[in-house]
Amino acid sequence: TSPARDYLMDCINGAKMAREKGVIKGTHQKHDRSWDCWLGFQYRIRLNDPYLEELDDTRKVRICSAFMHVVQQGDFGRSGSKVNIKGSTARTTLDNVAATFVASGRRSPILSTLGKVHIHIERQTRGYKREDPAAAHEKALPPRVFRKLLHSASLPRELARAWLICGALFFAMRSCEYTF
């Protein structure tokens, strides 16, 4: 081995370690879960080609579209019940699978020849989002709850604790968005 080759290998390994530090552990776990769903889907449809290397671009998009539909229908839910998943979650699952393709040196299966997300995937995502139920906002705590907590504190430590509780409730329960 030459010194230049050793130097290059050190640089490549350093770059790899920096990339791994650039992604948090939770992201790896989400990608792994998405990939497991992808492999499960392939098993169900009797396709033994995880990276769709034997298919043309049109078929790749169709398979990815079908996968996103299966995810949206809740076929991979933890509870086993088929409850529809939000469209954005189904799309994120497909995006994680596409990211795994790219991380392994392959082209994303959901991109068109122009390098944008294929129009079929975009339209399917929009269709799911239109069907998604509206967000159900929880009722905010009224300001009198915060006043009661603060006024009931008599000692300095209790007052400090009351302020911390009020701050946590106000921001964690998003009362800041609904309290005027």
- 17-39 pLDDT, tens digit per residue, is 888 788 777 788 899 999 999 99
- 34-52 pLDDT, tens digit per residue, is 999 999 999 999 999 999 9
Low-confidence winner among 1-10, 106-115, 167-176 (lowest mean pLDDT): 167-176
H helices present in the chain, as ranges? 3-21, 25-44, 57-72, 87-103, 119-131, 143-152, 156-172, 175-178
pTM value?
Answer: 0.68
Sequence letter at residue 153: A
| Closest to 118 measured CA to CA, from 173, 47, 126 | 126
- Let me know: does 83 contact 106? Beta carbons within 8 Å: no
Q: Which residues pair with 111 in a beta bridge?
A: 117
State the pLDDT at residue 180.
Answer: 52
State the pLDDT at residue 29.
Answer: 87
- The pair phi, psi for residue 114, each rounded to 5°, is -85, 0
- How many CB atoms neighbour CB 100 within 10 A? 18
Output the six-digit token pair for 5. 């080759």
Given the structure tokens 């043309």, which residue do they identify? 56
